[in-house]
Amino acid sequence: MSENDASRRNFLTMAAAAPAVLALGGMAAAQDSSTAGTLPGAGKAALITGSSRGIGAATARRLAREGYAVTINYLTNHDMAAAVVQEIEAGGGRAIFRQADVADAAAVGALFDANEEAFGGVDVVVSNAGIMNVGPFAAMEDEAFDRMIATNVKGSFNVLREASRRVRDGGRVITLASSIILSKPAFTAPYAASKAAQEIFASTLAKELGGRNISVNSIAPGAVDTQLLRQHGEAALAGIPEATPLRRLGQPDDIANVIAALCASDGAWINGHNVFANGGLS
């Protein structure tokens, strides 16, 4: 066979195979197109307590952008919770909002029931609801102390207990601690103690849920520009940006981004830890 004959035969063979190759290429392109639009949270649901504003609302919006259907929880801020839901829905996401006092175990159970009724189950639970009452030991009133412990400790316990019963295998459970447990400033002892409990809750629950591919962590924000911090006046902010290597207050989105990272598949190996998200504040 001459060189010209061999070249001609190769050309004819390639031409005959071209339709099949093009068809396979089209199938691959279609598969790439279909998977490219799949969000990491598609088909999953997240429940975030205290999510009508601040870190909770930022987390709800962020997870909704990742494709999660989101249950917004509030205690008194009905209109703000409704606004978060409207914003998520306007962006093409799915969300509901429900009132519940996390200190009430029955109310927390009903909150999880509402999530399941709307979305079929839950894959991410973020225990974010909290109260920050500060002041010297000598001046702390029983009512202020009791309410903070009821929300921050008992409330978080109620949420994490329900999460341990209901989060689907492969899910995420996150509770909000605080970087204040590092610096331990004066006048913050009860609040700091309530936040230190979150680290213990997360590390022990991670062990209890072993074998179900569920990661449980606490996140310890630094000073974040929220109503929780600003309620104590501008004096509470004095010197904080200058004391932070990044020279600014944290923003709710900074913490929401860390939560989203832990919820992602790449965050699965972080488990049972307290993650400090504070811009380097120590």
pLDDT digits (tens, 9 = 90+) for 45-73: 999 999 999 999 999 999 999 999 999 99
**Residue 88 above 90 pLDDT?**
yes
Instruction: Please give the average per-residue pLDDT across 199-204, as a whole number.
Output: 98
Tokens of 200: 């213990």
Please determine, for residue 222, whether its predicted confidence score (pLDDT) is greater than 60. Answer: yes
| Active site residues per annotation | 191
Report how far residue 53's alpha carbon sits from residue 231's, in angstroms, rounded to the nearest whole number: 14
Q: Quick one: the chain helix, strand, coil %, rounded to 5?
A: 55, 15, 30
Angstrom distance (rounded) from CA 209 to CA 217: 12
- Give the DSSP H/E element, type plus range, for residue 183: helix 180-183
Query: Which pLDDT value is given to residue 18?
Result: 42
- What is the average pLDDT score of the chain? 87
In this prediction, residue 211 has a pLDDT band, given cuts at 50, 70 and 90, of very high
Q: What's the start-to-end Cα distance of the chain, in Å?
A: 80
List phi, psi (to 5°) of 254: -60, -40
Is residue 176 over pLDDT 80? yes
Mean pLDDT of 149-168: 98
Question: Half-sphere exposure (CA, 13 Å, Cβ side) for 231?
Answer: 8
pLDDT (0 to 100) of residue 30: 38
Q: For position 32, what pLDDT does the model report?
A: 39
Q: Of 27-36, 169-178, 248-257, where does mean pLDDT reach its minimum? A: 27-36
Quick one: pLDDT at residue 244? 82
Provide mean pLDDT across the span 72-100.
98
More confident site: 198 or 226: 198
- Within 10 angstroms of residue 7's Cβ, the number of other Cβ atoms is 10
- Confidence check: pLDDT of 128 > 70: yes
**CA-based torsion, 237, 225, 243, 201: positive or negative:** positive
Predicted model pTM? 0.84
pLDDT category, 26, cuts 50, 70, 90? very low
pLDDT, mean of residues 172-191: 94
Compute the average pLDDT of residues 160-178: 98
* CB of 181 closer than 8 Å to CB of 133: no
CA 161 to CA 102: how far, in whole Å?
12
Regarding predicted confidence, which is higher, 24 or 110? 110
